[in-house]
Every structure is written in structure tokens, then in C-alpha cells.
Amino acid sequence: MPLLVMKFGGTSVADLDRIANAAKKVQREVERGYDVIVIVSAMAGRTNELVGWVEGTSRLYDAREYDAVVASGENVTAGLMALRLQEMGIPARSWQGWQVPINTTDQHGSARFVSIPRHNIDQKFAEGMRVAVVAGFQGIAPDGRITTLGRGGSDTTAVAFAAAFGAERCDTYTDVDGVYTTDPRISAKARKLDRIAFEEMLELASLGAKVLQTRSVELAMRFKVPLRVLSSFDETDETSGTLVCDEDQIMEAKVVTGIAYSRDEAKITLITVEDRPGISAAIFEPLAAAGVNVDMIVQNISEKNYEDHPGAVTDMTFSVPVAQVEHARRAMEAARAEGKIAYDELSVDTEVAKVSVVGIGMRSHAGVAARMFRALADENINIKVISTSEIKISVLIDRKYMELAVQALHDAFELEKA
């Protein structure tokens, strides 16, 4: 019998009525002849509540006990979903991570998949079970302790099960009806995409689009799992939502597919850094050790080259998440105190945003950067930093112009047109 994986996020199972609504969508697929593996998140708000309980009990908590508490939210949802399906006459059973088992590494709070053996669930399907309801976001470490996968981990769980069981498709139900050319809250012209390539979705997810978790898209691309994004609150059929798929399944790719943005960016500049071989390693190794996620990097000729130190110094600019600014500052100050680097000043700008254009069509079309920069220039938006890859161009700009930039770029590339 063909197999389908269906994933329901927290808003889709927020209360008993929404669980019942999700169960009807599962019933429809069972009636179409599928065996179904359902991956569920905790009910909306429950994970934050559980995290709050842990932090309220122990400021320096044991990560193993944190996982034991936080994973319980998905367990409750799985049991309730299985009960609802049983009430509807569908043979269903709930599964916690250790029962499958979902084998992971022992990195509590951010575990990675090792393996998902099929035999336990396959045996139950053979015995007449039609739906396996699996608690997402969790697994079991080599020592038998419960682990969790980090926020958004249920998305990754769903794709991992689809890959492990050779599912026909992985359907992710959420509070939006698909992937849009940009955030509809910013641009009224945003258009829902029927299809988007794995690479484009991965770039959009990593650049700020919150429809899918980045790791889930990475897994889907690696194992060629067709991934469909659908609304839990609308009536759907085979043509609904957005299909994330291989590039060769898209008939004609547009030059630019979507516009992404991230508000929570900061720009750090080390002024008058020594200009010598190895200086970049001396800067970015301490940042990596401190867990700072560096994104855009630009090295400039320092003004002081022409004043005090001709040819001897440079300025190094890079962007980091706002929440990591202090970690980055401490790492740089410690490196300077230890004599690993030298600089005159560390400048921080926390009022910036990153805006990106993404599209696999950029590989074969010239002039995308020029068109992007002209659109921003026409709105008098200054670009602070630029970075590029094969299928995306990102710029750092003043945060107050972010929404204007998104709208201008959406118009410039005519993304409202199919």
C-alpha cells in the first residue's frame, strides 16, 4: 500500500477542535488508499510553557532533564490524535521517539538523526494499523535517554520518516497555504508558488522565510523527498499548496523566485586590523569557538592606510544575529587581549536588516545584481554590505528601509506575475 507522511504544526493541533480537523485530513488520505505516518508538534504554546517550567525550576538545568520535560508536549498531542482517529473508526496507534525507535546523537537539545529502523511500524502496518501517529521533535540517545532536535524539529522528523519509509510525499500542514514570493504581510502583491526547487527553498529558509525549518529542507533535498506545504485551515486537494521538488520538475524557472528578509541582523566592523596573511583566521576562529554565526563578510581598505599606516591595515566587516552581538564582542576583545589580533575600534550597528533575492534562474541570466541595485537606488536605499551565491544576492541595509526594499524588489522582478 502506498505511504504518505503528514506533519501538523503547533497551530494545527492547538486544541481538541483543531486536532479533530487534522484527523479529518488524515482520514481523507486513508480513504484514498494510503497508509499514513502522522508527525505532530506540541499544541501551540505548550513547548514555551514547558521551557518556562524548566527555567523556573533550575537556572543551570541538566540538558537531559530539559529534554525529558520538553519532549512531553509532543507525546500528549500524539496520544490525543490517535484517540481521535480511533473514534473515527481508523486503526491508529501513537508512537513516542523511543518506541520507534528514533535513534539520535546524544547532543541534548540539538540532537541529530542517526537511524530510524522501520521494523516496528512496518509490523503494525502489516497487522492492520492504518495510521502511525509519531511524536515529532524527539528521539533516543545511545544511552537510552530522551533527546530533542531543537526548535522546528518536527519538520525535520517528518522528512526523515518520509526518507526512511520511502514515502510518496511529505505533506506539511501549517497556518499558511503555501510558499509565497515574499511575506504577504509586507507586500500585498505576494503570490503563492505552485512549485519551488529544493535549493531555492533552502536559501529562502536560511535567509529568514519561516515556512519550513532549514534542516528539513536539507534532508528533503538530500533524499529527494517531495515536500508539500499546505494550510490546515483550508479545504485542500492534490493541486493545493506549494510543492518543494527537484529543479528538473519545474518547467520554466523564473530568474528570481522570491524575496526573503531578516530583521534580526547586526553589522560589526573591526577598524584598522592588521593586513597580513592569517588575519581572517585569527578573527573568525574565535567567533566560531564562541558559537557566533557569521554571515556576510567584507574586507575594506582602511582610511588609515593613507594616514597613519600606509598599506598595513584594513577594516573587516561582518554580520551576525543581533542576539549574538555580545558573544562576538567578547570573543574579539579576548582575542585582542591574548595578542591574536590587533584593531583600533570595534563598531556595532544593530539597526540593519538583510534582504535577499533568490532564484535558480539566476544561474543562466545576467543583470540580476544590476536590476536589484537599481531598484534600491531608485528608492534612495543605501547598501552597506553585499554577498552572493550562485542563486541568491543578499544586501545589508538600514532596518527602517526593509519593508520598502522588499516591496521595491518584488515589483522590480515582477514576482506578482505567474
**Residues that constitute the known binding site for ATP:** 7-10, 174-175, 180, 185, 210-211
- Rounded Cα gap, residues 155 and 213, in angstroms: 6
- Length of the chain (residues): 418
At residue 116, the 3 state secondary structure works out as coil
- Rounded Cα gap, residues 244 and 136, in angstroms: 21
Taking CA atoms, 203 is separated from 58, 151, 179, 260, in Å, by 37, 18, 13, 9
Which amino acid type is present at position 300?
Answer: N
End-to-end CA distance of the chain: 36
Which grid coordinates belong to 337?
A: 587581549
Binding residues: 7-10, 47, 74, 174-175, 180, 185, 210-211
Strand partners, 40: 8, 135
Strands 35-40 and 131-135: parallel
Over its C-alpha atoms, the chain yields an Rg (Å, rounded) of 24
296: Cβ contacts below 8 Å, ≥ 6 apart: 318, 319, 354, 385, 386, 387, 394, 396
Strand partners, 133: 38, 94
If DSSP states are collapsed to H, E and C, what string results for 271-305?
Answer: EEEECCCCHHHHHHHHHHHCCCCCCCEEEEECHHH
DSSP letter string over 220-269? HHHHT--EEEEESSS---TT-SEEEE-GGGSSS--S--EEEEEEEEEEEE
- For 363, half-sphere exposure in the C-beta direction (CA atoms, 13 angstrom radius) is 8
Strand partners, 113: 104
> How many C-beta atoms lie closer than 10 Å to residue 67's C-beta?
23
Contact 38, 172 (CB under 8 A): no
Binding residues for substrate: 47, 74
- For 184, half-sphere exposure in the C-beta direction (CA atoms, 13 angstrom radius) is 9
- For 206, half-sphere exposure in the C-beta direction (CA atoms, 13 angstrom radius) is 19
- Rounded Cα gap, residues 84 and 78, in angstroms: 10
- Rounded Cα gap, residues 146 and 144, in angstroms: 7
